[in-house]
Amino acid sequence: MKLAVFDFDSTLMDGETLDIIAKETDYYEEIKKITEKGMKGEIDFFESLTSRVALLEGMKLEKVNEICKSLTIMNGAKETIKELKKKEYKCVCFSGGFKNATSIFVKKLGLDGEFSNIFHTKNNVLTGKVGGEMMFADSKGNMLLALQKLLNISENNTLVVGDGANDLSMFKYAKNRVAFCSKEILKKEANIIIDKKDLRLILDKI
Protein backbone atom coordinates (compact mmCIF):
# COMPACT_ATOMS: atom_id res chain seq x y z
CA MET A 1 0.00 0.00 0.00
CA LYS A 2 1.09 3.56 -0.79
CA LEU A 3 -0.21 6.97 0.26
CA ALA A 4 -0.92 10.05 -1.87
CA VAL A 5 -1.90 13.25 -0.05
CA PHE A 6 -3.27 16.21 -1.98
CA ASP A 7 -3.86 19.77 -0.89
CA PHE A 8 -7.31 21.03 -1.90
CA ASP A 9 -7.34 24.71 -2.85
CA SER A 10 -5.54 25.33 -6.18
CA THR A 11 -4.53 21.64 -6.25
CA LEU A 12 -7.56 19.32 -6.43
CA MET A 13 -9.79 22.36 -6.89
CA ASP A 14 -9.03 25.15 -9.35
CA GLY A 15 -9.14 28.20 -7.08
CA GLU A 16 -9.18 29.28 -3.44
CA THR A 17 -12.40 28.43 -1.61
CA LEU A 18 -12.37 31.41 0.76
CA ASP A 19 -11.64 33.84 -2.05
CA ILE A 20 -14.53 32.45 -4.09
CA ILE A 21 -16.92 32.62 -1.12
CA ALA A 22 -15.70 36.17 -0.40
CA LYS A 23 -16.97 37.35 -3.80
CA GLU A 24 -20.43 37.33 -2.19
CA THR A 25 -19.27 39.82 0.46
CA ASP A 26 -17.76 43.31 0.66
CA TYR A 27 -14.42 41.84 1.76
CA TYR A 28 -13.24 40.07 -1.38
CA GLU A 29 -10.10 42.15 -1.96
CA GLU A 30 -9.11 42.04 1.70
CA ILE A 31 -9.59 38.28 1.97
CA LYS A 32 -7.75 37.68 -1.30
CA LYS A 33 -4.72 39.65 -0.04
CA ILE A 34 -4.62 37.68 3.21
CA THR A 35 -4.86 34.39 1.27
CA GLU A 36 -1.91 35.40 -0.88
CA LYS A 37 0.24 36.36 2.10
CA GLY A 38 -0.57 33.09 3.84
CA MET A 39 0.27 31.06 0.73
CA LYS A 40 3.64 32.76 0.46
CA GLY A 41 4.36 32.17 4.14
CA GLU A 42 4.43 35.89 4.88
CA ILE A 43 1.94 35.46 7.73
CA ASP A 44 1.17 32.49 9.99
CA PHE A 45 -1.45 30.12 8.54
CA PHE A 46 -3.63 30.14 11.67
CA GLU A 47 -3.65 33.94 11.62
CA SER A 48 -4.48 33.93 7.93
CA LEU A 49 -7.33 31.44 8.36
CA THR A 50 -9.00 32.99 11.40
CA SER A 51 -8.79 36.56 10.13
CA ARG A 52 -10.39 35.62 6.80
CA VAL A 53 -13.19 33.56 8.34
CA ALA A 54 -13.95 36.40 10.78
CA LEU A 55 -14.80 38.61 7.80
CA LEU A 56 -17.48 36.12 6.69
CA GLU A 57 -19.52 36.57 9.87
CA GLY A 58 -23.24 36.83 9.08
CA MET A 59 -23.12 34.88 5.82
CA LYS A 60 -25.79 32.21 5.41
CA LEU A 61 -24.57 28.60 5.51
CA GLU A 62 -26.93 27.77 2.65
CA LYS A 63 -25.09 30.24 0.41
CA VAL A 64 -21.69 28.82 1.39
CA ASN A 65 -22.84 25.30 0.54
CA GLU A 66 -24.30 26.46 -2.76
CA ILE A 67 -20.92 27.98 -3.72
CA CYS A 68 -19.01 24.88 -2.64
CA LYS A 69 -21.17 22.66 -4.86
CA SER A 70 -20.12 24.69 -7.89
CA LEU A 71 -16.34 24.71 -7.32
CA THR A 72 -14.24 23.64 -10.32
CA ILE A 73 -12.26 20.40 -10.28
CA MET A 74 -8.61 20.88 -11.26
CA ASN A 75 -7.67 19.72 -14.74
CA GLY A 76 -6.58 16.08 -14.62
CA ALA A 77 -7.63 15.45 -11.01
CA LYS A 78 -10.10 12.64 -11.73
CA GLU A 79 -7.73 10.81 -14.06
CA THR A 80 -4.78 11.17 -11.69
CA ILE A 81 -6.67 9.77 -8.68
CA LYS A 82 -7.94 6.89 -10.80
CA GLU A 83 -4.43 6.00 -12.00
CA LEU A 84 -2.90 6.29 -8.53
CA LYS A 85 -5.51 3.92 -7.16
CA LYS A 86 -4.53 1.40 -9.83
CA LYS A 87 -0.98 1.70 -8.45
CA GLU A 88 -2.29 0.79 -4.95
CA TYR A 89 -2.24 4.32 -3.53
CA LYS A 90 -4.67 5.43 -0.85
CA CYS A 91 -5.63 8.95 -1.97
CA VAL A 92 -6.43 11.55 0.69
CA CYS A 93 -7.09 15.30 0.78
CA PHE A 94 -5.60 17.56 3.48
CA SER A 95 -7.13 21.02 3.36
CA GLY A 96 -6.79 24.22 5.34
CA GLY A 97 -10.17 24.89 3.75
CA PHE A 98 -13.56 23.46 4.62
CA LYS A 99 -15.55 20.24 4.75
CA ASN A 100 -18.38 22.03 2.95
CA ALA A 101 -16.20 21.67 -0.16
CA THR A 102 -13.84 18.75 0.51
CA SER A 103 -16.64 16.30 1.38
CA ILE A 104 -18.16 16.96 -2.05
CA PHE A 105 -14.84 16.34 -3.80
CA VAL A 106 -14.34 13.05 -1.94
CA LYS A 107 -17.39 11.75 -3.80
CA LYS A 108 -16.58 13.42 -7.11
CA LEU A 109 -12.98 12.16 -7.22
CA GLY A 110 -13.31 8.87 -5.37
CA LEU A 111 -10.91 9.88 -2.61
CA ASP A 112 -10.31 7.57 0.35
CA GLY A 113 -10.63 10.37 2.89
CA GLU A 114 -10.33 14.06 3.72
CA PHE A 115 -9.21 16.16 6.65
CA SER A 116 -10.20 19.82 6.74
CA ASN A 117 -11.84 22.58 8.79
CA ILE A 118 -15.39 23.53 9.77
CA PHE A 119 -17.18 26.88 9.79
CA HIS A 120 -18.83 27.47 13.16
CA THR A 121 -22.49 28.36 12.67
CA LYS A 122 -25.44 29.44 14.76
CA ASN A 123 -28.98 29.26 13.35
CA ASN A 124 -27.41 28.33 9.97
CA VAL A 125 -25.41 31.56 9.85
CA LEU A 126 -21.59 31.83 9.99
CA THR A 127 -20.37 33.23 13.31
CA GLY A 128 -16.94 34.18 11.99
CA LYS A 129 -15.27 31.38 13.97
CA VAL A 130 -13.62 28.21 12.73
CA GLY A 131 -12.44 24.86 14.08
CA GLY A 132 -11.04 21.65 12.66
CA GLU A 133 -8.12 19.38 11.88
CA MET A 134 -6.07 21.63 9.61
CA MET A 135 -5.84 25.01 11.36
CA PHE A 136 -2.10 25.33 11.93
CA ALA A 137 1.08 25.52 9.88
CA ASP A 138 2.17 22.06 11.08
CA SER A 139 -1.27 20.36 10.90
CA LYS A 140 -0.67 18.61 7.59
CA GLY A 141 2.68 17.19 8.67
CA ASN A 142 1.26 15.92 11.95
CA MET A 143 -1.72 14.31 10.23
CA LEU A 144 0.54 12.71 7.62
CA LEU A 145 2.68 11.14 10.34
CA ALA A 146 -0.45 9.80 12.05
CA LEU A 147 -1.75 8.27 8.82
CA GLN A 148 1.60 6.71 7.95
CA LYS A 149 1.70 5.07 11.36
CA LEU A 150 -1.94 3.97 11.23
CA LEU A 151 -1.64 2.47 7.74
CA ASN A 152 1.95 1.27 8.17
CA ILE A 153 3.12 3.24 5.13
CA SER A 154 6.73 4.44 4.87
CA GLU A 155 8.07 7.81 3.77
CA ASN A 156 9.41 6.06 0.65
CA ASN A 157 5.85 5.08 -0.31
CA THR A 158 4.38 8.52 0.28
CA LEU A 159 3.53 11.16 -2.34
CA VAL A 160 2.44 14.68 -1.34
CA VAL A 161 1.12 17.42 -3.61
CA GLY A 162 0.59 21.08 -2.71
CA ASP A 163 1.05 24.69 -3.72
CA GLY A 164 1.52 26.87 -0.64
CA ALA A 165 3.38 27.45 2.61
CA ASN A 166 0.99 25.40 4.74
CA ASP A 167 1.96 22.32 2.69
CA LEU A 168 5.58 22.57 3.82
CA SER A 169 5.07 20.52 6.98
CA MET A 170 4.00 17.42 5.06
CA PHE A 171 6.90 17.71 2.59
CA LYS A 172 9.25 16.63 5.39
CA TYR A 173 7.77 13.15 5.51
CA ALA A 174 7.43 12.13 1.85
CA LYS A 175 9.83 10.79 -0.77
CA ASN A 176 7.91 12.36 -3.66
CA ARG A 177 7.19 16.04 -2.98
CA VAL A 178 5.24 17.78 -5.72
CA ALA A 179 5.01 21.58 -5.97
CA PHE A 180 1.98 22.08 -8.22
CA CYS A 181 1.78 25.56 -9.80
CA SER A 182 3.14 26.63 -6.43
CA LYS A 183 4.67 29.53 -4.56
CA GLU A 184 8.48 29.72 -4.46
CA ILE A 185 8.58 28.83 -0.76
CA LEU A 186 7.28 25.33 -1.62
CA LYS A 187 9.31 24.83 -4.79
CA LYS A 188 12.50 25.05 -2.73
CA GLU A 189 11.52 21.90 -0.81
CA ALA A 190 10.04 19.95 -3.74
CA ASN A 191 11.73 17.30 -5.85
CA ILE A 192 8.96 17.35 -8.49
CA ILE A 193 7.83 20.70 -9.90
CA ILE A 194 4.77 21.02 -12.13
CA ASP A 195 4.11 24.49 -13.55
CA LYS A 196 1.18 23.60 -15.82
CA LYS A 197 -2.38 23.20 -14.53
CA ASP A 198 -2.64 19.47 -15.26
CA LEU A 199 -2.34 17.01 -12.40
CA ARG A 200 -1.78 14.13 -14.84
CA LEU A 201 1.77 15.39 -15.36
CA ILE A 202 2.58 13.99 -11.89
CA LEU A 203 2.08 10.47 -13.19
CA ASP A 204 5.12 10.78 -15.47
CA LYS A 205 7.34 11.75 -12.53
CA ILE A 206 6.68 8.94 -10.03
Residues annotated as catalytic are 7, 9
* Nearest C-alpha neighbor of 124 from the set 66, 46, 55, 69: 66
Ordered DSSP codes for the chain: -EEEEEETBTTTBSS-HHHHHHTTSS-HHHHHHHHHHHHHTSS-HHHHHHHHHHTTTT-BHHHHHHHHHTPPBPTTHHHHHHHHHHTTEEEEEEEEEEHHHHHHHHHHHT-SEEEEEEEEEETTEEEEEEEES--STTHHHHHHHHHHHHHT--GGGEEEEE-SGGGHHHHTT-SEEEEES--HHHHTT-SEEE-SS-GGGGGGT-
What is the rounded distance in angstroms from the CA atom of residue 145 to the CA atom of residue 153? Answer: 9
